[in-house]
Structure 1
Amino acid sequence: MNKSRLQQLVLEKLHADLAQAERAALTAYEAATHEENIAENKYDTLGLEASYLAAGQARRVEEIQQALAAWQQLVLRPFDEQRGIQLTSLVWLADARGGEQCLFLGPDGAGLKLQQDDQDIMVISPRAPLGQRLLGCNAGDEVQVQIGSSQQSYEVLRVC
């Protein structure tokens, strides 16, 4: 599995998300400042609601820009068994039912789904509960994560 290609796929997705978020932010800003949205009385909140939406969209643009910067500065490292799973590790897990998944531990952009060599790969960050539990683990280790009211158990199958 090519980690450099995975990093490039993440950057491409983040650039696409940024372009979409910037368009949404611009649309929301235009709606918030449009003359038809000026309040006619104290109960007319359309302009106020549009300004809240514009502020939220602007925050989303900033979050994506920060994620992009983190991924652009990321130095890919080979797996070191002494340190165990760290940032940029590619991890294959099996759950208690035998279902398998592949995770790429990255600095941000958690939840992104990638595909390489017909393998589905989910990006997670060390801030995620599962990401936290995986840090320092090696193949053969078992981790447990509390998700809502249920305890999930995973076995680390392999790491690179």
Structure 2
Amino acid sequence: MTRLNKDQLKQTLLRSLDEEIEAAISAATQAQQTAAHEDNKPENQYDTLSLEAAYLAHGQSERILELQQQRIRLAKWDVPAFDDDDEIACGALIQLCHPQQGERWLWLTLLAGGRRLLWQGNAVTVVSSDAPLAQLVLHKGVGDDIRWQGMDGWEITQLQ
């Protein structure tokens, strides 16, 4: 049985968020510079490049704030441990197996879902606990089957 260290996995997730925050800061800076650049001052009422860049910069700033808040919450999160006889809840690291599709690792987290992390040679999909996929597995346990990706036969084979 493969055992993954969730504290180290959490650090990988935090680094992923840091990279996304840095990319968003860079995009916001570029949009702000475009909005304020002398060459982009409107020449008439229909020239909206500067205005569009300002809206983009504002949107990027909101995204940065959202990502920073997610990072703070995740950094403070004590990731719970699970055993194979527990019920799946937020914090669970789950292995799903399908006879034709192979195995998939899912990690149910508070937020920051939709990411794919590579950890100890395993691709781990981060799933927010309010996502539809999380709702499929919550309160289930090892040995239970779910219907996922339009296919029956996905078995929960590990819980950590």
Flag whether TM exceeds 0.5 (same fold): yes
Within the candidate set 47, 52, 55, 1:49 is matched to: 52
Residue 43 of structure 1 deviates from its aligned partner by 1.2
How many angstroms apart in 2 are the aligned matches of 1:45 and 1:81? 58
Identical pairs, percent: 34
User: Is there any run of 5+ residues in structure 2 with no aligned partner, and where?
Assistant: none
User: Is there any run of 5+ residues in structure 1 with no aligned partner, and where?
Assistant: none
Cα displacement string for residues 109-138 of structure 1 (whole angstroms, at most 9, x for unaligned residues): 112222222111111111211012211110
Q: Is the partner of 1:114 in helix, strand or coil?
A: strand
How many angstroms apart in 1 are the aligned matches of 2:99 and 2:43? 60
**Gap change, CA 1:82 and 1:95, over 3 Å in 2:** closer
Residue 81 of structure 1 deviates from its aligned partner by 6.2
Deviates more, 1:84-93 or 1:106-115: 106-115
Is 2:39 the counterpart of 1:36?
Answer: yes
- Contact residue 113 and residue 128 of structure 2 kept, 8 A: yes
Within the candidate set 2, 6, 12, 1:3 is matched to: 6
How many angstroms apart in 2 are the aligned matches of 1:79 and 1:42? 61
Within the candidate set 64, 87, 93, 2:67 is matched to: 64
AA at the equivalent of 1:43: Y
**Gap change, CA 1:95 and 1:53, over 3 Å in 2:** farther
How many angstroms apart in 2 are the aligned matches of 1:103 and 1:21? 26
- Matching residue of 1:115: 118
Cα displacement string for residues 44-95 of structure 1 (whole angstroms, at most 9, x for unaligned residues): 1111211121122112212211210121111111116676111111100124
AA at the equivalent of 2:56: L
Is 2:157 the counterpart of 1:157?
Answer: yes
- Matching residue of 2:19: 16
How many angstroms apart in 2 are the aligned matches of 1:38 and 1:95? 58
AA at the equivalent of 1:159: L
How many angstroms apart in 1 are the aligned matches of 2:39 and 2:7? 49
- How many residue pairs match? The answer is 156
Is 2:153 the counterpart of 1:140?
Answer: no
